[in-house]
Amino acid sequence: MASKSKFLSGSGVIVTTEGTSRILAIHAYSTIAGTFDIQDSVGSKIKFQVPVSGQADIFIGELGIKCNGNVSVSSPDSNGSITLFLG
Q: Give the type of residue at 85.
A: F
Q: What is the torsion angle, in degrees rounded to the nearest 10, for the CA atoms of residue 56, residue 60, residue 66 and residue 72?
A: 10
How many residues does this entry show for the chain? 87
Q: Are 63 and 11 in contact (CB under 8 A)?
A: no
Q: Are 38 and 22 in contact (CB under 8 A)?
A: no
Question: Residue 2: pLDDT above 70?
Answer: no
What is the CATH number assigned to the segment(s) 4-86? 2.60.120
pLDDT tens string 56-65: 999 998 899 9
pLDDT tens string 28-74: 999 999 999 999 999 999 999 999 999 999 999 889 999 999 999 99
Domain ranges of the chain: 4-86
Q: Which of 60, 53, 76, 72 is CA-nearest to residue 8?
A: 72
